[in-house]
Structure 1
Amino acid sequence: MATENTQSIALDSSADSKVEGHFKRNRFVYGFGALVVAIGAALRIYLDTMGFSVGTDFYSDEFQVYWMPLLYGELILLGGFTVILSTYLWLTRETDASAISKELELKRYWKMLSIFSVMAIWGGLIGANAIESDAAWHQVTIRDTDFTPTHIIIFYFALPALTAMLVPAFIWVHTRVPAYMNKISIPFLAVVCGILMIMPNYGFNEWGHTFFYAEELFAAPIHYGFVFLGWSLFFLIPLAMQIISHMARLISETTAEGYQAS
């Protein structure tokens, strides 16, 4: 009986240590993921609370008080985050790929997957809570200006936030992961450029709605740009194949070296 109790305690301790180790290794994706979920929830609650009460008329004093400061804050936050983090990552880049061990390289691949996981969480929030809200908004209110509550949250924060995460991630990968150093991953570049170019397409979309399409029809030709540029996400498939192949090679090599050492 004593032996069984000792074994049970040992198994429980082992399980606890594994769970603790899992959260420690993946603290970035859990922490940053929780942050983006909190931001998305806060913006959605603000939109539902303040949208129709003080957000239907751009020229009202209430709109200038409750919505324009949010717009300015979003632009400053995302612009500063992207520029500062990208500059830091470039200035602290590693130049000697041979100095990076296989274990460290493999660890960075896991971190890369964590970064993409956070982006996927944010993209899911946009798709589930934002896109249909903008279409519904234009069906019940007059399009008097490009700055509507849904636009301020979607076009000037939610979608640009993907670019704000992708650009530093692109720099980090190409300056920290040996397989990508001193070269450029075409699939990764295509994803970054496609999402980035959605932003100038906003302007084209608003211009088209102002002069040609009063109604918000999803299949309207003015929306083709969003569909075409959104297809850049298909490049995630060859990018995933790159990452998986490199990780499989590293796992095989590090495992073989571990057996030889033992």
Structure 2
Amino acid sequence: MSLTEKAGVAAKAQTDSIVNYRPAYLAMAALGTFYVGIRIYEQYFGWKAGLDSFAPEFQTYWLNIMWTELPLEFIAFCAVGGYLWKTRDRNINAVAPREEMRRLITLIGWLLVYAFTVYWGASYFTEQDGTWHQTVIRDTDFTPSHILEFYLSYPIYIIAGWGAFMYGRTRIPQFANRISLAFLLFFAGPFMIFPNVGLNEWGHTFWFMEELFTAPLHWGFVFFGWFGLAMFGTVLQILGRVIELSKEYEKDVLAI
């Protein structure tokens, strides 16, 4: 490389930013606005049209939401995974260190959105669901609270986690060449909370029990929720690679 080319590389390295969290911030702002909006909707139409599942207004204001959101979420899940796979890097081992660093930082943005959606789904909406069912006696499994919690907020965080996992698998050598157990558990654990909903609904249909989070029927939610602790292992793997790439970058700059 000539001196002129080296100078150009150095100038580009100083002016180009590899950190861009704007898409993640916009996604979280949009999702936050959406969650607040549906919570307001629940507050109003939950009491007005959500107490009797046999009433016509329940079909209008609640079941129509569920029959709409489920297919849309399935399509979104397939679309996110399909797009990331179709546009994958087919020469993953030839990724330049600077580009790999940019992709790792983008992955962190994906994980921020994932953590944000997990909080809303597995924490906020789950907690308010317990409050709802300690206040209102259910006459159906598809209560207003469940329609927004189990069948809306849970699939949304599953889609976000799926996107993060697929982004790493298709664009970052560290995760493409071998499967990260921590990353897999970080995605698969919270994902399994959704199938556990089936057991929960079955149990509440055949057993009359108080809505306590300590009830054995709810232990599955806690068990799979603990898999979120794999976040620390995933972050350590990412930061370890970031440090390695930073050292390589310093060497390149000093060589110039």
Q: TM-score, normalised by structure 2?
A: 0.89
Runs of 4+ that moved beyond 3 A: 126-129
- Post-superposition offset of 1:121: 2.1
Match of 2:28 in 1: 33
Residue 44 of structure 1 contacts residue 129 of structure 1 at CA under 8 Å; is this kept in 2? no
Match of 2:182 in 1: 187
Residue 121 of structure 2 contacts residue 157 of structure 2 at CA under 8 Å; is this kept in 1? no
Amino acid at match of 1:140: T
Aligned counterpart in structure 1 of residue 159 of structure 2, from 148, 153, 164: 164
Query: Does residue 199 of the first structure (1) align with residue 194 of the second (2)?
Result: yes
Match of 1:233 in 2: 228
Q: Show structure 2 runs of 5+ residues with no match.
A: 1-14
Match of 1:72 in 2: 67
Amino acid at match of 1:172: Y
Amino acid at match of 2:181: I
Once the two structures are superposed, residues 68-109 of structure 1 have per-residue CA deviations (whole angstroms, 9 ceiling, x without a partner) of 121122112211111012112112211212331111110111
When the two structures are aligned, how many residues end up with a matched partner?
A: 241
Amino acid at match of 1:149: P
Partner Cα separation in structure 1 for residue 228 and residue 124 of structure 2: 19
Query: What is the DSSP-based 3-state SS (H/G/I as helix, E as strand, rest coil) of the residue aligned with 2:221?
Result: helix
Match of 1:117 in 2: 112
Residue 85 of structure 1 contacts residue 168 of structure 1 at CA under 8 Å; is this kept in 2? yes
Partner Cα separation in structure 2 for residue 25 and residue 249 of structure 1: 20
Query: Does residue 108 of the first structure (1) align with residue 70 of the second (2)?
Result: no
Amino acid at match of 1:153: L
Residue 115 of structure 1 contacts residue 169 of structure 1 at CA under 8 Å; is this kept in 2? yes
Q: Show structure 1 runs of 5+ residues with no match.
A: 1-17
Q: 1:145 to 1:78 in 2, by over 3 A?
A: same
Partner Cα separation in structure 2 for residue 120 and residue 168 of structure 1: 12
Amino acid at match of 2:92: A
Q: TM-score, normalised by structure 1?
A: 0.87
Aligned counterpart in structure 2 of residue 45 of structure 1, from 10, 27, 40: 40
Amino acid at match of 2:243: A
- Post-superposition offset of 1:200: 1.3
Query: What is the DSSP-based 3-state SS (H/G/I as helix, E as strand, rest coil) of the residue aligned with 2:179?
Result: coil
Match of 1:88 in 2: 83
Partner Cα separation in structure 1 for residue 76 and residue 122 of structure 2: 23
Partner Cα separation in structure 2 for residue 248 and residue 179 of structure 1: 13
Q: Identity percentage over the alignment?
A: 35
Amino acid at match of 1:89: L
Amino acid at match of 1:80: I
